[in-house]
Amino acid sequence: MTTRKETAVPEEILVTGGTGLLGRLVVQHLLDEGARVRVMSRRPRPADDASPYAWATADLRSGAGVAEAVAGVAAVVHCATAFGRQAELQLVRTLVEAAGRGGSPHLLYTSIVGVDRIPLPYYKGKLAAEQLVQQSGLPHTVLRATQFHDLLRTVFAAAATAPVVMPVPDFRFQPVDAGEVAARLASLAVGEPVGRAPDFAGPEVRQAGEFAAAYLRASDRRRRILPVRLPGRTFRAYRSGAHLAPDQTVGKVTFEDYLAGIPDVRGRSYRQR
Ligand SMILES: NC(=O)c1ccc[n+]([C@@H]2O[C@H](COP(=O)([O-])OP(=O)(O)OC[C@H]3O[C@@H](n4cnc5c(N)ncnc54)[C@H](OP(=O)(O)O)[C@@H]3O)[C@@H](O)[C@H]2O)c1
């Protein structure tokens, strides 16, 4: 009698926005954990991309290719995003509907600390998208994170284009390393759905001006940092700390650590890593 050796083939995980800042890092962590990965992008796979993942060309706004992209996957890590309240919600709606028809995969939604407290249109879209996921009947996990270090660097690079004075907001931040958030998402994706996961926030709550000073030191520039009081309800909410999670300082990588790992710290590309 011959015995056939069974080899367990890991189930496939779809990463929407797998070409973006966070999504690329999630893909890498999943591959490192031995998962099979499918990347979703609106673009066709680049001819020189020989990475060990599958590729699904799909558009979550129009719906083109989405049914095929979600077919047969065990989980979907949703890292695609579109700015604007309706646009963000539309992408999630398309995904939820396709996932519901495609075998009920574990759906993971990446959100932001404070989407329920800061009246930015994009945040309102993210809050509505969270609710859509939670009411979808799909097994799901929602993870809120604070601002990525990359976002602060991009803001400071733009502010430092003025030669003498560098205007920065007069409130605090608690930035987090996108790689650490990606690692958490990857481990959540291979586990059981948890509903709302504990928030993932960076290691330090400091004034924007202190982070700006670190950016100037790392990029070897001198500017006078000018804290600016921005008007309106949205910035009042930021001043009150609505985007912070000081009891969830889970991230270990500080803004200075992050800057030390960026070859061209002055570069203004958000996606440059
Ligand atoms: N940035 C932060 O500080 C921060 C903090 C906490 C949470 N988050 C959340 O993390 C998530 C990822 O953010 P990110 O900064 O990594 O985004 P990003 O770099 O701007 O990437 C966006 C991705 O969305 C994809 N995409 C856009 N429109 C699409 C469409 N119609 N159909 C399919 N894919 C589409 C893009 O793929 P293609 O161009 O290849 O199609 C791209 O890969 C977002 O939900 C964001 O709210 C961000």
Centre of ligand 1 to C-alpha 220, Å, is: 30
Tell me, yes or no, whether 272 lies in a domain.
no
Q: How many CB atoms lie within 10 A of CB 193?
A: 17
Nearest CA to ligand 1 atom 36: 17
| Residue 141's CATH number | 3.40.50.720
Ligand 1 center from residue 17 Cα (angstroms): 5
- CA–CA distance, 13 with 38 (Å, rounded to integer): 6
Q: What span, in angstroms and rounded, lies between the C-alpha atoms of 242 and 258? A: 24
Report d(CA 218, CA 124) in Å as an integer.
Answer: 35
User: Would 4 be classed as within a structural domain?
Assistant: no
Is there a domain that residue 271 lies in? Answer: no
Q: Among 39, 61, 81, 97, which residue has the most ligand 1 atoms within 8 Å of its CB, making it the best to mutate?
A: 81
pTM (whole model) above 0.85: yes
C-alpha distances (whole Å) from 239 to each of 44, 208, 232, 248 are 42, 11, 11, 19
| Domain-located, residue 77 | yes
Does residue 7 belong to any structural domain of this protein?
Answer: no
CA distance 123 to 159: 23
Kindly give the distance from the C-alpha atom of residue 79 to the centroid of ligand 1, in angstroms, as a whole number.
5
d(CA 74, CA 61): 22
In a domain, 1, yes or no: no
User: How many whole angstroms from 143 Cα to the centroid of ligand 1?
Assistant: 15
Structural domain boundaries enclosing 40: 12-260
> Does the CB atom of residue 116 touch ligand 1 within 6 A?
no
The answer to whether 117 and 242 have CB atoms below 8 angstroms apart is yes
CB-CB contact of 66 with 59 (8 Å): yes
Q: Which residue has the tokens 């800057």?
A: 259
Atom of ligand 1 nearest to the CA of 59: 32
Q: What is the signed CA dihedral for 165, 167, 171, 177, rounded to 10 degrees?
A: -100
Q: How many domains are there within the chain?
A: 1
The pLDDT assigned to 2 comes to 38
For residue 229 and ligand 1, the question of a CB distance below 6 A is answered with no
Q: Which residue has the tokens 């979550």?
A: 60
Residue 41 Cβ inside 6 Å of ligand 1? The answer reads: yes
| Start-to-end C-alpha separation, the chain | 55
Q: How far apart are CA 130 and CA 66, in angstroms?
A: 20
Residue 166 in contact with residue 159, Cβ under 8 Å?
Answer: yes
CA-closest residue to ligand 1 atom 40: 41
C-alpha to C-alpha distance for 273 and 257, rounded to whole angstroms: 13
In a domain, 211, yes or no: yes
Domain assignment present for residue 214? The answer is: yes
Q: What is the pLDDT along the chain (273 residues), one digit of tens a residue?
A: 434 444 566 689 999 999 999 999 999 999 999 999 999 999 999 999 999 999 999 999 999 999 999 999 999 999 999 999 999 999 999 999 999 998 899 999 999 999 999 999 999 999 999 999 999 999 999 999 999 999 999 999 999 998 899 999 999 999 999 999 999 999 999 999 999 999 999 999 999 999 999 999 999 999 999 999 999 999 999 999 999 999 999 999 999 999 999 988 877 655 544
